[in-house]
Amino acid sequence: MAGNGQAVGVLALQGDFREHLAVLRGLGADAVPVRRESELDEVAGLVIPGGESSVMDKLARMFGLFDPLRARIADGMPVYGTCAGLIMLADTVRDAIAGQRTLGGLDVVVRRNAFGTQNDSFETELAIPELGDPPVHAVFIRAPVIEEVGPHATALATLGDGRVVAVEQGSLLGTAFHPEVTGDTRFHRRFLDRVRA
């Protein structure tokens, strides 16, 4: 339950939204796919999944979701973005395709496909003090990286080389990796806590 009997949504235009729905439902949330503005109006929080950020941007505009989403984010709706979802939430994107827009909200600069191709995917353990022990097993798949964290955002996790891979700002949460594929639900719980608050 997301509190007040309110549902939480997963943006279901493209990408691995089914995995997020399964994790949220496993945590007892009333989780629903969001593809239309009317569905967005019904949810108290939203997960933007991994996938292809440029395709997600195009589809959000095509489905008339882009501006309503921007407005809800600006209005303080809790949102958790993973991988492409993190790119969608970033105020600035490097290596974006021509005409690509983001929803914004996170005071960060993100670089798309920072780790290269699908073949450069990797897994690592991340110590994240805010989530306690054990470390988070993080899976990076054609992942972005957060190159700059502005004064309004807070880094939650960094790689050994200092690159930032998880960030939060108010009711927004973003990770460059995919917790929905590892069985570690702590980021989803943190998102649901934001929704309940």
Tokens of 186: 């702590």
Neighbours of 67 (CB within 10 A): 12
The answer to whether residue 42 sits within a structural domain is yes
CA distance 69 to 63: 11
Q: Is 123 a catalytic residue?
A: no
Q: Tell me the pTM.
A: 0.94
Is the CB of residue 140 less than 8 Å from the CB of residue 124?
Answer: yes
The answer to whether residue 148 sits within a structural domain is yes
The answer to whether residue 75 sits within a structural domain is yes
The answer to whether residue 1 sits within a structural domain is no
Q: Is 178 a catalytic residue?
A: yes
**Position 77, amino acid:** M
Q: What is the mean pLDDT of residues 14-43?
A: 96
| The pairing of beta strand 172-175 with beta strand 164-169 | antiparallel
Instruction: Lowest mean pLDDT of 2-16, 42-56, 63-77, 126-140, name the range.
Output: 2-16
Query: What are the tens digits of pLDDT across the range 112-155?
Result: 878 766 667 889 999 999 999 999 999 998 899 999 999 999 99
Is the CB of residue 131 less than 8 Å from the CB of residue 186?
Answer: yes
Task: Give the CATH number, domain containing residue 79.
Answer: 3.40.50.880
Q: Which of 20, 83, 168, 188 is catalytic?
A: 83
The answer to whether residue 40 sits within a structural domain is yes
Q: Which of 42, 123, 152, 178 is catalytic?
A: 178
Domain count, the chain: 1
Please give the mean pLDDT across all residues of the chain: 93
CA distance 187 to 189: 5
The answer to whether residue 59 sits within a structural domain is yes
By three-state DSSP, how is residue 147 classified?
Answer: strand
Is the CB of residue 33 less than 8 Å from the CB of residue 196?
Answer: no
Range of the domain at 25: 7-196
The answer to whether residue 134 sits within a structural domain is yes
Q: Which of 20, 168, 180, 188 is catalytic?
A: 180
**Residue 3, pLDDT score:** 40
The answer to whether residue 52 sits within a structural domain is yes
